[in-house]
Chains A and B, each alone.
Chain A
């Protein structure tokens, strides 16, 4: 008995000693002296193949290696770090239009791939031809307005386009460019394969070569990815104006970036608080803010999240949702402020237009806001009067008594037919809690109008299937991708995007919008483009194919005692520019 006790005590002590010994005695070898930014990620990346990588986490890594791509608008051209105007990036100057169908782009000289070879016009042509030939899913939109790409000389490319539109800038000119030397071998193999697209898609890139600020060193599946600084980066040492009066000087000044994967957010947060990692790139939610703010070595930043404007979108193919008045009534019933306050604990911003309020240049805050911020009684009485005016009747009409709303039952259309049950489809609570909870709240609000509403929370593939591929849905609560240039005003609402798999799932086809939008695409003047975008947002707010809801704040926290010089941008403080500019605190 005594022996037993002793043995247990000895074992436990040994374990603890072991912990201390290993924690203290074996110091890290090389890296201790060098500066390594350690970034925690909660979801591990699937692949380093930029042709098939799709998750945002995955792109955080890929974009440090390459220039340009799926959600990294820095290719031949880029946006200024703060004011988000177009500037040359790997190009030397702004594009020169020879006529309405031809444009010439000059490349910077001396840009090097990570293997030391030079980046030239051949790489650009190869990449775009390759996207065309293989119909690469994520890059499909980069080539669909191109007729032909022509190499004039190693640093000059001539693009023959179908039309002179701004589409070309934010799609083609900002796309990812692949190294011809490396990829032409892969392409040759793919052509021989009986399933060429599949071959490319599943091609495992073991050692990616890009032109970005960091070079790939090592990957351990499910554990980490290690990058090291690229001293030959073409922006190294250059100072660039941020567009808002300030400027940044590019490094990279840190030796390495370590992306470390954690199985869950709570552990990652503990690792951040304990100093095991320097920041978490993605997925911090509001619940963690108070405890992170208490930690002395951390700085917490919150910015409206550019990537994702949440909305409730309608399927306009069928009655009653095809009725604009009906949609307007539904819009009055939604209490966005409640969503922000209660659901997001204040870590979000209500959005009246389909644009990120954080992108002040593009966001039109003066569109119809459907009594946002007004009392429940006034919003509902407006909604009821609109419905009545449009000829809707009820089994039991909803009523306002003082400040209370007495719910109605069994709303009927003007032809006397019962309005069938409206289903709100969205992702599950686990995948996206804000969307799921918003959907549930919205269905409660609509029920008060006598509209029988239910929610259907589904897995992501099911959502894609039902909404985009089969168009079998009534209302979807989802997030729109919003880029620094309001691209979405085209592809979410373009009639040409109404087909089985098209982006315009609502089947929105108002003529006045289509006309205004096509005119807008041809506007290259920045201020004129802004006016056009404002007008488009106005029309959308009136037609309501979408009811915009809110943008989440992107919550970032970083260890300011280890690295300084972080740059706060529209998409948060942890971004490619920050990582290219931060320096170790000595």
Chain B
């Protein structure tokens, strides 16, 4: 018989404690968590950055990751984008009664793996079991605390002439989730780009490059990040369409369904604005990470159309890159 999560395991009693020690302590244990006090006590020296995010995803296990990996990457990446090294995370999980225990264990294992990549710890946690139908499988919230290693990285700091760099090919997560959810059969599978970004950020900074802005291109994709930047910094960003790194599988999906790769979500892809003289060095660092071979300079910050993102085609025409809206729906005509 497959073991499943029961309501009793969320009630704070015996079964609940068994779940916590058998699963969460076993994989995520460390000296702070295991003290099992009412709150974690943390010692910090540097300025700290803090962020929180909740995660639901369907399917829970997708090509290239799962909700566990996502819940660590998502929060740690937000810290990394401020130039902060992820240190401490809280971990709250809501599980639907009847969820397979084996699946939960798999999720916790991928959390452990991803924490190690970031060098971060879970210092506080919570588990709730909800009656069947109250949620769709599982939902995770993580809050992260990170130590700032540089200051001044901000969406408001773009400067005229900055080179806009993207860390790898875009649109993978969105395309993978879409294909997985809709059961679209593809000849070559698209794996999500789901990954932790701190190691890359750390190395970029270690190489003497302090970006003016960094943002991971999650929901809304590249288009959302760039539009946010032009708003916040009151500049124009001009992008060369031909230089956008897009893998064949993703452009195939876009072609079939009428999507724009720039509007598809990513989970391990970020955009940097760096001084033009640092662009080459930034690319070199990024490309040294496996999977990021397609890192590219895609455009520059100008003052031509304030607060707008402009796409320049290879035949000399221009159009605005719009902020994606609403739910992704295929075009019919």
Judge: A and B partners, yes or no: no
Interface residues of B (CB under 8 A from A): none
Interface residues of A (CB under 8 A from B): none
